[in-house]
A and B are shown apart, each in its own frame.
Chain A
Amino acid sequence: MITTRESLNSILNKYPKNPEYLLPVLQDIQLEFHYLSEESLKSVSEKLGLPLTRVYSVATFYNAFSLQPKGKNIIQVCLGTACHIKGSPRLLDELVLVLGIKEGETTENGLFSVEAVRCLGCCSLAPAMMINGKTYGNVKPENITTILEEYKTKNHED
């Protein structure tokens, strides 16, 4: 069993002590742990020789990072222009209703997080959403429950 500390260290050890690697390091940590903990940010600050203030600024500036733990499955609803005019706000409403959480929140069981993202580049299939990197096009509000069921029952690996 690899401990949190060990997997954090293995990420940190991949990179040289160079402030330019701040984003890549944080991206790896986000991917591994689904969020950036206080401990991880402090370790990054030490490893790259950067003040914590600078690490924190970057960690909070970019949408790709989260300081709160995220769910196992991350649902990203596209709010690009094409999706907007083709009804993606309705998808978001439906998710909020089905999961009982607001945009940016995580379900209590830690299974799902809902995020609104700015254009997944699937405009021809609007409205679109992405779950764990898998894109769904032409999504209708009534299909949401079926799509989510897939992720509830198995650990989806695609």
Chain B
Amino acid sequence: MKTKIVTKEDLDILNNEGIHHIFPDKIKLSIQMGTCGKASGAERIYHIIKNKINTDILLTSTGCIGLCEKEPMVNVFVPGYYPVVYCDLDEEALEELLPAWIQGELPEKNCLMQLNRTTFNTNGPILKVKENIPQMEEVSFFKLQKKIALQNSGIIDPFSVEEYTGRGGYYSLYHVLKDLAPEKVIEIITDSGLRGRGGGGFLTGRKWQSCRNAPGEPKYVICNADEGDPGAYMDRTVIEGDPFRILEGMAIGAYGIGSPEGYIYVRTEYPLAVETLHKAIREAREYGLLGEHIFGTDFSFDINIRRGGGAFICGESTALMASIEGKVGEPRVKHIHTVVSGFREKPTTLNNVETWANIPAIISMGSEEFKKIGTKGSTGTKVFSVVGKIMNNGLVEIPMGITVKEIIFDIGGGIPFGKKFKAVQTGGPSGGCIPEKLLDMPVDFDELKKAGSMMGSGGMIIMDEDTCMVDVARYFVSFLVQESCGKCTSCREGTYQLFNILNRITEGQGKEEDITLLEELSETIIDTSLCALGKTAPNPVLSTLKYFRDEYDAHIKEKKCPARVCKALIEYRIIPEKCTACGKCRKACPYNAIAGEKKVPHQIIKDKCVKCGICFEICPFDAITKV
């Protein structure tokens, strides 16, 4: 049984312990063990290290620092120095590095960067910077970033309340409960200009105020962690890397709104995130940071976890609430807002993970400081998952207002393999594709909307010249066909018909009037669908039609796929001059569609070829082309 944290002194003791955990007097190795780390082999690294060290070396885990591309990563802390991050680790690299680390050395091999005062600005001892090792702010991926929601991810042990407190955690909640009236809390959040990070961009403080004002008890707070946008994983990273931040944010919100109970609705596809939340809630309860009389005050608040059922529509607030109530995730009309009648028909405030994660920071820095970050209409930072055809795949948190171009080319490092940039898709299936000519657009709720996309929850998928935009539109619509709940005609039948039209275009069966039909259908789906899923479903179609009309035309009129993606419109051919008759493709072809003998250039048998592309990728001589 742990001692409950009641007084300021208790919190200070915990903070001290935390600082000591973060900067111990022994060498400490922290393995980045988020889902991305694990998928890259972090567990293996963990076990190798564990078997080779003795108790003089501390071994812990941490979340993801954002540059997932370079996992597995280990943060090495040698007393006296700021932690150094090592990346791209494997067994071989460890053979050289581990003995050095154990000796307290910080070699340059596989070294990504050193964290320093920028990361540990307020807490902990002043430590030494190691020469010849790039500092975090010198690494192009991190240079333009500004971390608020992600400030602890990849830095602290996510399961340690001590370390979270050691980084200043729970001081905001303490301050709020001891010094501020609930109305004042809402006033600070409203004044900060924080807008919902789940996509809608509604003013958070205003939402809280409406909920506080609404009649009916009890009131509920909900954290939407049903991160469903394909290509987005910000919320997962925040949960896996810094779960107490969300719990603290929710507690602060609950105090402001006047709610005794909260729910976190988290995707079942994120097993590690679910487990992390369970552990964190247990821990917080033991310390009295959730439960009855938090910090000895009259405020009591607890949080329950519900796992999603694997339905994208449950990211929609009313469907999410129906799902927690044990029903199918069908949205209802929102003419009465959920802040008035939501979960169990009681006033309910729903915010997404990133929004909640911003709350403790806003309280601690104050709304004035927070407003200085970002633009006038979009304050603060936004986390994006920058993925797809990009050099540095990863998670970035940037101040609002920097341009999309800066994210892609400065932070993301541009497009790999010398390919040409084509488009960036934001906002998930409800968003749109932004072409090159609009890349100077600042990241801002309103600017993105003007361009026919939307902020969304933060997925940013980069596409290069090898991506077919008609195929992309077809992909998103097929996603929505499968995820539509089926309640209203416009979305259920409308998205299905959008898919049929796009599908026939990619199969070379498109007719010229299909474009008009797509536009007409899109208009009706937007105007007449019951919920936001339907109302935004045509966005990927309309934005690709607007900016990449030539690709549609090529598919329909010339029966050609310019990016050579749509199987029905391409053909694989062997260039006889380049073919060395090595036989690799012939052996690899699963359909026996390649004929040839030794020393005789091979040939593809058209009737047998299913255009799987294996030969194209396997040929060592670039002798196979797509036409």
Contact = CB atoms under 8 A, between A and B. Distances in A.
Is there a direct interface between A and B, measured as CB atoms under 8 Å apart in the complex?
A: yes
Interface of A: 18-24, 26-27, 48, 50, 54, 57-58, 61-65, 76, 79-86, 90, 93, 97, 117-126, 128, 130, 133-138, 141-142, 158
Given A23-B306, A62-B311, A85 B467 contact: yes
18 contacts: A20-B324, A61-B309, A63-B311, A64-B307, A64-B309, A82-B388, A85-B389, A117-B310, A118-B482, A119-B229, A119-B232, A122-B35, A122-B68, A122-B233, A125-B40, A137-B39, A137-B40, A138-B40
A128 B329 contact: no
B329 A62 contact: yes
A134 B69 CA distance: 18
Contact of A121 (B227, B461, B467): B227
Contacts of B502: none
Given A24-B307, A82-B388, A124-B387, A135 B236 contact: no
B395 interface: yes
A17 B308 CA distance: 20
A92 to B, nearest CB: 11
B402 to A, nearest CB: 20
B614 A141 contact: yes
Contact of A135 (B35, B309, B323): B35
B472 A121 contact: no
A123 B232 contact: yes
B326 A118 contact: no
Given A123-B233, A137-B36, 4 more contacts: A20-B325, A62-B308, A85-B467, A119-B229
Interface stretch (B142-150, B196-204, B264-272, B511-519): B264-272
A81 B387 CA distance: 9
Nearest to B231: A81
A82 B325 contact: no
Q: How large is the interface on B (under 10, 10 to 19, 20 to 34, 35 or more residues)?
A: 35 or more
List 6 A-B pairs, minimum CB-CB distance, nearest first. Answer: A62-B309, A63-B310, A124-B68, A121-B233, A22-B326, A81-B231
B327 A58 contact: yes
A61 B312 CA distance: 11
A84 B35 CA distance: 19
Question: Which of B39, B267, B312, B395 is packed against the most chain A CB atoms within 10 Å?
Answer: B39
Interface string B558-574: 00000000000000000
A128 B385 CA distance: 15
A52 to B, nearest CB: 14
A57 B613 CA distance: 41
A61 B39 contact: no
Contact of A126 (B307, B326, B387): B387
B459 interface: yes
B391 to A, nearest CB: 11
Contacts of B385: 123-124
B586 to A, nearest CB: 15
B269 A117 contact: yes
B490 interface: no
B563 to A, nearest CB: 10
A30 to B, nearest CB: 10
A14 to B, nearest CB: 15
Nearest to A86: B388
A23 B226 CA distance: 15
Nearest to B614: A141
Given A121-B236, A125-B36, A61 B475 contact: no
Given A20-B326, A61-B328, A119-B228, A125 B388 contact: no
